[in-house]
Amino acid sequence: MHQELSAVIFDMDGLMFDTERLGWQLLNQAGAEYGCSPISLERYTDGIGKTHTETSKIFSEICGYDYERYRAIERRFWDLDREYIRRVGPPLKPGLLDLLGTLEQRSVPCALASSTHHDRVAEHLKAAQLEAFFSVVIGGDQARASKPAPDIFLEAAEALGVPAPGCLVLEDSVAGVQAGRNAGMYVIMIPDIVEPAPDIRALADQVLGSLHDVEALITEGQLRFV
């Protein structure tokens, strides 16, 4: 059975850009400068797809929940992050450029809906020279509620002028998959660091290995855009 859709909504971190591993490394680098113990990659992933407030609660454990010191670590983290992105650019996930090119050729409208602050999303898109591919960009600070609530995806669909069932959501995080399902959209999960549990896999309409696989479904006609 072929799935007919009208638009695509992308997550950003871990889906478009390989920034989750980078973020983990930079957070521990910043923490080390303040004499803090490193956070494990497994614990770091608990914050993926969450709002700034929620991630702060998780990541501040590196300094014993000393929030004043954590705020200093966080400021240093963002300095390191901005320096890296300006100098190198965000690391692209395999298949991203090919997929965006294929969608552009078919005149498929695309939105980016990320839990990350809008300013950082815009900075990453500019550094990667991908701004032209997205007619709608929404950051976590602009959504009424964070993932797994469906708000950010529903806002993106409204801005695109496409009914929710006509949207394909591409996500890597558990919270993102739940948000897409809660929005009533077609959800493809492409796991990043954490392999999804069976119940999360069941929430996604498909679980694929990379963005190359999404493009293959489009070129083979299994995902059709109308």
The active-site residue out of 11, 18, 172, 192 is 11
Query: What b/e string do you get for 126-151 counting C-beta neighbours within 10 Å, with b at 16 or more?
Result: ebbebeebbebbbbbeebeebbbbbb
DSSP characters over 154-204 = HHHHHHHT--GGGEEEEE-SHHHHHHHHHTT-EEEE---SSPPPHHHHHHS
The active-site residue out of 13, 81, 172, 192 is 13
Active site residue 11: yes
Kindly state the tokens that stand for 163: 């009914």
What is the helix (H) or strand (E) element at residue 224, kind and residue range? strand 223-225
Active site residue 205: no
Measured at the CA of 181, the angle between CA 102 and CA 201, to 5 degrees, comes to 85
Strand order in the sheet with 110-113: 136-138, 110-113, 7-10, 167-171, 186-189, 206-207
**What are the residue numbers of the active site?**
11, 13
